[in-house]
Amino acid sequence: MSVEPLWGEVAEPLIRGIIVLPNNAAPSTIGAPTIEEETREEEALDVPWQVVVHNDPVNLMSYVIMVFQRVFGYPRDKAERHMLEVHHKGRSILWSGMREPAELYVQQLHGYLLLATLEKVY
């Protein structure tokens, strides 16, 4: 058995850029690609989101003030105002902005065992 005829049948057409189909190959049924419209999902992520803290009967007021200062960098008086709003109204909007940082703030608040949610502003 010689390698020469195999080389001539397979490799030579590949080198020349000729496409050789087997005898039983069917023509392609793949159509032209379709172009789909872009979705506006990215814009939906940029809509303002709110970080909301809800009241809980477990944490001390001084602890909640300390958490607001650490997570958001609020001065003591602003952190205290938010804490009192949570205490009297049941919730307080602590921050508003893009979704990704808002998710991080909610995660940090959960780390301090505070009940926090992320809400979309319509």
CB atoms within 10 A of CB 72: 16
Going by CATH, does the domain composed of 44-120 fall within 3.30.1390.10? yes
Domain range summary for the chain, segments of one domain joined by +: 44-120
pLDDT at 3 over 90: no
pLDDT band of residue 84 (cuts 50, 70, 90) is: very high
Alpha-carbon span 108 to 114, nearest angstrom: 9
Alpha-carbon span 121 to 76, nearest angstrom: 27
Dump pLDDT digits (tens) for 44-65.
557 899 999 999 989 999 999 9
In the sheet with 91-97, reading across from the earlier edge strand, the strands are 91-97, 49-54, 116-120
CB atoms within 10 A of CB 109: 23
